[in-house]
Amino acid sequence: MAGDLYRKPIMFAVVATVVILIGTVATMFYPMLTAEMHPKLENLKPFTALQLAGRDIYQREGCVNCHTQTVRPLKTEVLRYGEYSKAGEFAYDRPFLWGSKRTGPDLARVGGKYPDAWHYRHMENPQSMFAQSNMPAYAFLKEAKLDAAETEAHMKALSFPYQKEEIDALGAKTEMDAVVAYLQVIGTAVKKAVAPAEAQAGGIKGSHIPNPLAGKAEAIARGKELYSRDCASCHGADAKGSIGPSLVDDEFLYIKGDLPDDDYFEVVNNGTTEGFIEDGRAEKGGMPPFKDSLQKDDIWSIVSYLRSLKGR
């Protein structure tokens, strides 16, 4: 039988084609229809109308050309950008915006990293936040009103749930509002690690490490330079507060009363995380860590400069 088949090339080609097609369906097309091939994280929700409008603008303005939205499971990337990307967090991304070129930083974990006010100022004038940034300004988005009908059509096309009130509310929103809403939801479906109960300085509960550069003129001068470069955009040129809180009043982490220098160091080094306890005071989040961009002596210098503003 097999010998006869080999002697009939047309029949052999037909049989081979049928066998290959059956194998292709069994190994490729059928698995694509199973639930396992379409994972969805428990915390993942469809985009709201405002978030989807922001995502559309993000695509329109070519943000994906400079910013990726995927963290590879490599130690260097996880340390820099956060938890590596999971397939289940992109179930509603149509199309996905992973990107392939990082002219700007990855945005896969940008949601909740900064307060809204930070994003508004950054979009208006990126260089006011990062002097060396080559990102163009998008201040014009503040003047552009959203097209509610267009966004509603997109919501329907993607089968995202919405209420009429949600669409009506878009009339009072700008394109800048939409982009910020979208940025604030990116990556938030991935559960963050549970914050530890207490931040420790030096690993010994209740102990404190003195500032090795306290009162040194050269450290204060260096700290002033670094503060102007990295901190003034959020805390004000005079450190009296802007997007971030004042650093020269008698309050630390929303409670009256100052704390030792090493607590300042830890906040600058580690940033703030919602629920994290720093020396008995709860953080609300919103400040990024500077441990990857500043050396320890740089952070101590900033602390020395802040102390000099308080006359200490």
pLDDT tens profile 52-104? 999 999 999 999 999 999 999 998 888 888 889 998 999 999 999 999 889 99
Q: Mean of the pLDDT values across residues 12-29?
A: 86
What is the rounded CA–CA span in Å between residue 264 and residue 208? Answer: 11
The 10 Å Cβ neighbour count of residue 59 is 12
What is the rounded CA–CA span in Å between residue 131 and residue 115? Answer: 20
Higher pLDDT, 226 or 192: 226
Query: For a pLDDT cut of 90, what percent of the chain falls above it?
Result: 56
Cβ(85)–Cβ(108) below 8 Å: yes
Does 1.10.760.10 match the CATH number of domain 217-309? yes
Secondary structure letter of residue 27 according to DSSP: I
Q: What region, left, alpha or beta, does residue 8 occupy, with left being phi > 0 and alpha being psi -120 to 50 degrees? A: beta
CATH number for the domain whose boundaries are 49-183 = 1.10.760.10
Cβ(158)–Cβ(36) below 8 Å: no
pLDDT digits (tens, 9 = 90+) for 100-111: 889 999 999 999
Average pLDDT, the chain: 88
For CATH 1.10.760.10, the residue range(s) in the chain are 49-183, 217-309
Q: Which of 276, 126, 113 is nearest to 186 (CA)?
A: 113
